[in-house]
Chains A and B, each alone.
Chain A
């Protein structure tokens, strides 16, 4: 079978974390609010109402563009994008056109250890639209409502060049982009809640010289659906090509239920948005000191952090990469290492136990009850052989659930310090005294007898001792003490 050449470009929208909307003072905290309660004449597009730019939105967009190594254009110009839709109260969206905030940037990420580089075409800022609602207490029959709580929330739009060549790459690129906007604190990047949205352009070609037909995919509401939709689309276009057909240039929707892409209805001809500079907003010149101030607020970004973790803590690349993706997790890791300077152990515990527990509740490390010091304390006990690793996992689960420290969990669970080395010595001696036959067997060279003795100690400690420690203690006692 011949090769296929996949080309993917992403168009990503992130809601910016401003307190007020982009052009009025309404709150942006719209999740779960009663429809049309966070609105005013401006974001409802009432006759006569005028937009006034929220500078914070501009700052966050500039911060994003700077972090993506864009050139920042000196003048911010807002354009009107004209089209009719019921969720668009003014009949136009205030957006940007030929003077976006930033152009020609770069985004880097790694896929299975291989470094990838995607060019960023542009970064611009625009306002969000309202939301059509098809179900609700006031809606009966074939009636739809519009909720304008979301209308006017600032969005940053990031457009990549078509530099991605597989659904895996596209997904990983998006994960990195989310990681960056979260690092910057410009967006919470939550795809499920819609604060991060992604459209993709996909084309498949059978020859590297021949460009394929660009198909736009919309309605992908999670990282998994981005991956699945793109995989489906690549397969669909490949099959068409192999059958000697050409894919149609169109916009398709990802159908999450049926797991297929389907052509979007209507809008067959290219829409003419009739962009023109918004006469209600004067162009904004970015003073150089504003750029410097914003640049100074950009933290160490995921890739830099990963490299530092590899250098400073000697972590392997894959582990460092995963840790660095999540700024909070990375900070948790470093705080923990400061108190328990054994980076590998901390990293391993975080990437297994901590993540497992976080994922089971679908929360971030920030929302968990365990602090870095608490984890350090637990890991210290493991290091001192007071507890075994499997017990430590159980204790951590309890710490995670209750917010109690490791020692408190042990006290409460009656684990007490029986399992501490000195107590353990006592148990070991008792077991030796009670089982002279096995001792004799072992001394005669029967390895199995040792396993029996270890088992006896474990039983006596209700399985809470570390078998490794028990074995060492037994060996020490059996070889005639100190």
Chain B
């Protein structure tokens, strides 16, 4: 069986083959394992491949469902999971040395829901340490490479999930997005990535980076599959107080295609400024023209606090992180170093050697921002800016249904290109941070290629308006009909 035959498949297509008896979950799984064996030594998308457990589960599913052809939504579908989502009995490292060897004794809510829907966890994917980064270069276990060009980064922090789905090592994946960590790597790898409304998906079992911003989202090859995953993982959870008390999303909520043509699309002026790569603007503008031809109205809008959102984010997110990461102290789990010279020594050595430089940088930033005497000037001010950013979006959505922007101002950059300057790296998320700060949903999707690299387009909707988000994304996907990625990956492509 050649996996390439499935490159344009959605989950529904696998189910059709399962139902006809032409394919089984274990055979499908084996095919993905072979693909992982073939390409992952070059890509390094996975930190852990769940070989034995996954195969066993596939066979059990086959036995349980023998003779039935009506499947739960993810039945038999391998799902790659970002390594900051707790998986019972499967290592969860967050890309950090400090959690090396940590095996959670419980499943995250999203994992429970995936498994209840019949999914098979194929493995855990690489990421920037504790989701802090935009290139996956901050992983303590080595970077992931972009399947379109092995010299380039896949984006981050969910770079492992993005690369795995783009390289077809897994059909779908979960990532997490704090300031763009699902959408930016999705754009860099030419796939679909959804950041749901804050509170739409339970965070229980997602290792916290910045609690008021973290959201888990699907990373898929098609909008259709993103919808399917979102239906499964969304909905209220009594174990997460910040999870909204709404039922799971249903595709029935998505407005019909003909309604799209009457929609007003806002183009925020601040997102098409000089800092954006002109080749990217060119591709996106072409798509927008086509939408206009389809009858959609385009209007210019303004999100005046865009420039402050990034600054405020780098106050608020590190503040929460400095507290969230205090638990890695060598006492209960994970790495422990030193201690012969007392408690302080153990803390000092464990945290000094367990955390990488970017994590330390953000812990220091956050600790400083929360310190007495600085709290008002930093954390409190940051939260006030956040309110202004949220208001920007409220005002914009009073005049249009959706916003369309680039995902990142830049194309996937070369490994090492931005590691020397943290600020340069932070700028890669400048267009994904504001909507995260506002808590509104947005989706990144491929809208074309330039010089062999994917161009990402971002659609942003009002809070809990995923239904409209999906409507436009699906419309654009069908309108463009781009081939889904199946990049040739071999050592010869390493330049």
Contacts and interface: CB of A to CB of B under 8 A. Distances in A.
Contact of A47 (B86, B241, B322): B86
Interface of A: 41, 44-53, 80, 82, 84, 86, 89-92, 146, 272, 274-276, 279-282
B241 A86 contact: no
A50 B108 CA distance: 11
Given A82-B370, A274-B367, A274-B372, A53 B326 contact: no
In the A-B complex, list the 7 residue pairs whose CB atoms are closest, starting with the nearest: A91-B326, A279-B212, A279-B211, A274-B370, A47-B207, A48-B205, A48-B86
A49 B109 CA distance: 10
B241 A282 contact: yes
Contacts of B210: 279
A86 B333 CA distance: 12
A51 B94 contact: no
Given A44-B332, A91-B326, A50 B203 contact: yes
Contacts, number: 105
B289 interface: no
Contacts of A50: 203-204, 208, 239-242
A276 B370 contact: yes
B17 interface: no
Contacts of B238: 52
A445 B417 CA distance: 125
A275 B312 CA distance: 19
Contacts of A275: 370
B240 A276 contact: no
Interface of B: 84-86, 92, 94, 99, 102, 104-106, 108, 203-208, 210-212, 238-242, 319-320, 322-323, 325-329, 331-333, 343, 347, 367, 370-372, 375, 379
Nearest to A83: B326
Most buried by A among B105, B211, B238, B327: B327
Given A47-B104, A82-B323, 17 more contacts: A45-B332, A48-B92, A48-B203, A48-B206, A48-B207, A51-B241, A84-B329, A84-B347, A90-B326, A91-B325, A91-B329, A272-B372, A274-B367, A276-B323, A276-B370, A279-B212, A280-B242
A174 to B, nearest CB: 31
B106 A41 contact: yes
A41 B105 contact: yes
Interface residues of chain A: helix, strand, loop or mixed (majority)? loop
26 contacts: A44-B332, A46-B105, A46-B106, A46-B332, A47-B86, A47-B94, A47-B207, A47-B208, A47-B327, A47-B333, A48-B204, A49-B205, A50-B208, A50-B240, A50-B241, A82-B323, A86-B331, A89-B331, A89-B332, A91-B323, A91-B325, A146-B332, A272-B371, A274-B370, A276-B320, A276-B379
Contacts of A274: 322-323, 367, 370-372, 375
Contact of B327 (A45, A52, A281): A45
A91 B370 CA distance: 15
A98 B333 CA distance: 33
A148 B319 CA distance: 27
B383 to A, nearest CB: 9
Given A47-B104, A82-B326, A89-B332, A281 B241 contact: yes
A90 B327 CA distance: 4
A226 B108 CA distance: 47
Contacts of A279: 210-212, 242, 320
Contacts of B208: 47-48, 50, 280
B200 to A, nearest CB: 15
B372 to A, nearest CB: 5
A49 B105 CA distance: 11
B239 A52 contact: yes
A92 B326 contact: yes
A300 B99 CA distance: 54
Nearest to A80: B323
Considering residues A41, A89, A146, A274, which has the most beta carbons from chain B within 10 angstroms of its beta carbon? A274
Contacts of B332: 44-46, 89, 146
Nearest to B203: A50
Contacts of A92: 323, 326
A437 B106 CA distance: 96
B357 to A, nearest CB: 20
Contacts of A89: 327, 331-332
